[in-house]
A and B are shown apart, each in its own frame.
Chain A
Amino acid sequence: MEASVLVDRMGFLREIPLEDTSSGFVVLRDTFGFVPNLFHAQTLLPRLIEAEARILSAVVFQQRALSRVQKEGILLIAAAAHQNSYCATLHYERLRSLGLSELQIDLFLTDHRCAGLSRSESALADLSLLLSHDPTRLNSKDIGDLRAVGFRDDAILEAVLAIALARMLCTISAGLVPDVDFEPRKPPFPKIAQMWEARSPSDDLQARRHPAGPYLSSPELSADRFAPFAFFERRLGVVPNLFRAQTLRPDVIEAEAHAADLIVANEDVLLQVKKECMLLVIAAANLNTYCVAAHCAMLRRLGLPPEESDQIAIDHHQTDLTQADKALLDFALKLGVRPAEFQCDDIARLREHGFNEEQILEAVVTTAFGNFINTLVAGLGVVPDFEPRRVFEPKEAQRPRPAWNLAREVPGQRVAAEDPDASLVARVQEGDFEAFGELIRRHEQRVYRTMMAILRDPEAAQDGVQDAFLRAFKHLPAFQGRSKFATWLMSIAKNAALQLLRDREEAESLDEGSHEEEEFRPRQVRAWQENPEEVYSRTEMRDLVEQELLKLPPKYRVVVMLRDIEQLPTDEVAAVLEISIAAVKARLFRARLMLRDSLAPLFAVGAGRANT
Chain B
Amino acid sequence: MIGCDQFLAQLGDYLEGEIASEVRRQLETHLAHCRTCQVLFDSTTKAVKIVTDSGSFALPSNVAELLLEKIMSRIRAEGIPDSQKEEDIDGPGRPS
Contacts and interface: CB of A to CB of B under 8 A. Distances in A.
Interface string A411-443: 100010000000000000001011011001100
A487 B16 CA distance: 21
Nearest to B72: A437
B91 A482 contact: yes
Contact of B95 (A444, A470, A532, A581): A581
Interface residues of A, number: 99
B77 to A, nearest CB: 11
A578 B83 contact: no
A526 interface: yes
Contacts of B13: 394, 585
Contacts of B36: 525
B17 A399 contact: yes
A280 B67 CA distance: 53
A483 interface: yes
Kindly name the residue among B11, B21, B64 whose own CB sees the greatest number of chain A CB atoms within 10 A.
B21
Interface in A289-340: 289
B17 A466 contact: no
Nearest to B54: A545
Task: Summarize B's interface: helix, strand, loop or mixed.
Answer: helix
B54 A542 contact: yes
B58 to A, nearest CB: 7
Interface in A470-526: 470-471, 473-480, 482-483, 487-488, 491-492, 495, 522, 524-526
Interface string B43-59: 11111111111111111
A524 B43 contact: yes
Given A474-B83, A589-B11, A465 B67 contact: yes
B1 interface: no
A561 B56 CA distance: 9
A488 B24 CA distance: 35
Interface in A186-210: 200-202, 204-206, 208-209
A431 B80 CA distance: 8
Contacts, number: 231
Contacts of A545: 50-51, 54, 56
Contacts of A218: none
Contacts of A572: 95
A440 B72 contact: yes
A525 B67 CA distance: 44
Interface residues of B, number: 65
B47 A488 contact: no
A604 B47 CA distance: 11
B4 to A, nearest CB: 11
A65 interface: no
Contact of B93 (A392, A466, A527, A575): A575
A588 B50 contact: no
Given A528-B43, A561-B57, A475 B48 contact: no
Nearest to B13: A394
A465 B75 CA distance: 14
A397 interface: yes
A205 B45 contact: yes
Interface in A367-403: 388, 390, 392-394, 396-399, 403
What 9 pairs between A and B have smallest CB-CB spacing? A589-B12, A392-B20, A488-B91, A545-B54, A596-B47, A483-B91, A528-B43, A574-B95, A411-B94
Interface of B: 8, 10-25, 28, 31, 36, 39-59, 63-64, 67-68, 70-72, 74-76, 79-81, 83-85, 89-96
18 contacts: A209-B28, A289-B20, A289-B21, A394-B10, A394-B19, A434-B72, A482-B91, A491-B89, A525-B39, A527-B43, A541-B50, A545-B50, A545-B54, A571-B95, A575-B94, A585-B16, A592-B51, A604-B43
